Amino acid sequence: MSKKLKKSLWLIVAAGLLFVLSWLPVLKDVKVGLLIISYLIVGWEIIQKALRNILRGHVFDENFLMSLATFGAWYLGEYAEAVAVMLFFQVGEFFQKYAVNRSRQSISDLMDIRPDYANVLRQNKIVKTSPEDVKIGEIIVIKAGEKIPLDGLVIKGSASLNTSALTGESLPQDISKGDEVLSGCINLNGVIEVKTTKEYGASTVAKILDLVENASSQKAELENFITRFAKWYTPIVVILALIIAFVPPLLGFDTFREWSYRAITFLVISCPCALVISIPLSFFGGIGAASKCGVLVKGGNYLEALAKVHTAVFDKTGTLTKGSFIISEISPQGISKKSLLETAAYVESMSSHPVALAIKAAWKDKLDLKRISKIKEVAGKGIMAELDGKKVAAGNLKMLQDFGISNITFPKDKTAVYIVIDGKYRGFIAVEDEVKTTAIPLSHNLKQQGIKQTVMLTGDNKRIASRVGRLLKIDKIFAELLPADKLAKIEQLMQTKPQTSTLLFVGDGINDAPSLARSDIGIAMGGIGSDAALEAADVVIMTDEPSKIIDAVKIARGTILIAQENIVFAIGVKLLVLVLGALGLASIWAAVFADVGVSVIAILNAARALRLYKK
């Protein structure tokens, strides 16, 4: 508990003790003295706030209502009631502050990823300095137990990293020379040297912290409704209280004192605390719950939009598939499988294409590059070279046509590299982009959450797109699309969905930036590796797991349900007790307990949003 909260608690306890002592059989002056001291202990801060707000032009708020109600009670000689109003109002405020503090703590846990220092290697000496003072290209040393202060590449050493602060996953990540590391991760063992690739302000940790710190600035429609509601509600209540206090006695209905008491009761009941704090607290808790599972939501408005998704649109490569190829079939003709793979590995030895990388990874033996020469890349077709004096080529069907080769078998629904040696066709090696295992049940799980339609957009060919789409049970598949074509499809889908629902698009945050921006909710996958993801998307999933989308939707819907429960409960109870107070059927005591009770229950209910995600 923070010092501020502890101070509030002690003030409440002290005032409460004095309030209880005033009920003992003591002299009237002593009783009044105890009540005045008790009132000032818990009420002085509220009165100060009310006066400050009046001077700023913000008259009608809960501080003004409480001050006005208690002044009225003092005027009528209802001293105990005046103290009770302030005391229980402060109890409600304490629960509010405690709940907000817990919500903030859940998000500020992310702030633990902020590095305190960086060990920089300068002139063969390790210098401890602020991460902001480290330049791109400098070497930093990270020891076991230390946070990685800046993004960079490992140039020496190996270690296991705890990435849970960024991804929500507890499984350590092993890294070694040549691997990229991200700021905010914790080195669990070993010593590594890292060459920085970004300054601190552009690093992953800085961008995430900025995103989280500003998440609450984007308000949901429900939050805006409460703001508008409170703006009109409070002055209307004050006017009604004045009417209750003065009009009936002027018309001869009972005494001024009786109707003033009813007006004060009316004011106490009318305090909108339960709504004003519990709704933002619900969204704040939802954002905090999402951050626990590695999903960063940029504001309550996006959380609200996630709860109303009708259509889920996915990019294929890197989102539903791993974006890295593996060899799925080797089909030789006239030579052995080993010879075919060896030939392909040599021809592709200088290429950095994903297919070439898959072939080289499959060939385990070391390549003797003296055996190959005259490597030439033919744009849009493949690569030609000489291997052990033989002319070899590895490429696509267009390359085969150049050699006059036809009537061959080719793999269905896969990407293939065809091998030609001295003008003769020698077979093919088929590769495929692996589907992420967590993507397989995705469409089914989304349908269970009430999402009506799943769509896949890809620049890949129709055969491969159909294979992936069928495996994942995607409703609609659009293939061979350029980024502009994807955007056009998004536009079409936006027009066909119901007006009150939303469309989400999930991509990698780089080439899909236009689609991310155009959709109702843009979700970037694997945000820890993409600068564009943190900027273009509304929601960032910090891992490469599509299943996190289900978690995000569940959290969003749970948050909206909690907020709606609070609105219905708070308004319903208040309207009932307001009517009873105006009719003289509810005392100030009943008003106090009704107001504080509603506030505490609504705040505790809002705090449930923090527990919407469970590992």
Overall domain count for the chain: 4
Q: For 449, which DSSP code?
A: T
pLDDT tens-digit profile of 124-159?
889 999 988 999 999 999 998 888 888 899 999 888
Chain centroid to Cα 422, Å, comes to: 57
549 belongs to a structural domain: no
Q: What are phi and psi of 125, to 5 degrees?
A: -125, 145
pLDDT > 60? residue 558? yes
Q: What are phi and psi of 314, to 5 degrees?
A: -125, 140
Decide: 523 and 422 in contact? Cβ < 8 Å. no
251 vs 76: CA distance, rounded Å:
21
Pair (245, 175) in one structural domain: no
pLDDT tens-digit profile of 420-459?
999 889 889 888 888 888 888 989 999 998 899 999 998 7
- Count of CB atoms within 10 A of residue 502's CB? 20
**Which residue do the tokens 């991310």 mark?**
516
pLDDT tens-digit profile of 27-64?
888 888 998 999 899 888 888 888 888 888 776 667 77
Q: Which two tokens stand for residue 238?
A: 């004050």
The single-letter code of the amino acid at 411 is P
187 vs 190: CA distance, rounded Å:
8
Domain's final residue, options 515, 542, 569: 542
102 vs 96: CA distance, rounded Å:
10
User: Which residue, 485, 503, 505, is CA-closest to 494?
Assistant: 503
358 belongs to a structural domain: yes
CATH label of the domain that carries residue 466: 3.40.50.1000
160 vs 147: CA distance, rounded Å:
12
Query: Can you tell me the mean pLDDT for 83-111?
Result: 67
Return the bridge partners of 387, or none: 372, 390
Q: What is the pLDDT of residue 241?
A: 84
Pair (371, 428) in one structural domain: yes
Q: How many helices (H) and strands (E) does the chain have?
A: 20, 22
pLDDT > 60? residue 596? yes
Pair (413, 442) in one structural domain: no
**Which residue do the tokens 């236009």 mark?**
514
Determine whether 417 is exposed, middle or buried from the number of CB atoms within 10 Å of its CB (0-12, 13-18, 19+). buried
41 vs 392: CA distance, rounded Å:
91
pLDDT > 70? residue 119? yes
Catalytic residues: 315
| Side-chain-facing half-sphere of 116: CA atoms under 13 Å | 3
pLDDT > 80? residue 210? no
Buried residues in 459-484 as b, exposed as e (16+ CB within 10 A): bbeeebbbbbbeebebeebbbebeee
26 belongs to a structural domain: yes
Pair (594, 565) in one structural domain: yes
Pair (103, 223) in one structural domain: yes
Query: Band of the pLDDT at 2, cuts 50, 70, 90?
Result: low
Domain's final residue, options 519, 542, 565: 542
Pair (464, 530) in one structural domain: yes
Query: Band of the pLDDT at 396, cuts 50, 70, 90?
Result: confident
204 belongs to a structural domain: no
Pair (120, 245) in one structural domain: no
Pair (190, 309) in one structural domain: no
Contacts of 573 (CB under 8 A, 6+ apart): 594, 598
548 belongs to a structural domain: no
Q: What is the pLDDT of residue 106?
A: 53
Long-range pairs of 34-41 with CB within 8 A, sequence gap ≥ 24: 35/79, 35/80, 35/82, 35/83, 36/79, 38/83, 38/87, 39/15, 39/70, 39/82, 39/83, 39/86, 41/11, 41/14, 41/15
Pair (537, 467) in one structural domain: yes
Higher pLDDT, 527 or 117: 117
64 belongs to a structural domain: yes
245 vs 247: CA distance, rounded Å:
6
552 belongs to a structural domain: no
pLDDT > 60? residue 168? no
Domain that holds residue 506: 295-320+436-542
CATH label of the domain that carries residue 391: 3.40.1110.10
Pair (24, 167) in one structural domain: no
Domain's final residue, options 402, 435, 468: 435
Pair (312, 378) in one structural domain: no
Q: What is the pLDDT of residue 456?
A: 92
Q: What is the pLDDT of residue 211?
A: 59
Q: Which two tokens stand for residue 387?
A: 């291997």
Q: What is the pLDDT of residue 318?
A: 77
Pair (100, 228) in one structural domain: yes
pLDDT tens-digit profile of 278-317?
777 788 888 888 887 888 888 788 888 899 999 999 988 7
CATH label of the domain that carries residue 128: 2.70.150.10
Query: Band of the pLDDT at 570, cuts 50, 70, 90?
Result: confident
339 vs 330: CA distance, rounded Å:
11
62 vs 66: CA distance, rounded Å:
6
Highest mean pLDDT: which of 163-172, 415-424, 602-611?
415-424
pLDDT tens-digit profile of 530-548?
555 566 678 888 777 888 8
289 belongs to a structural domain: no
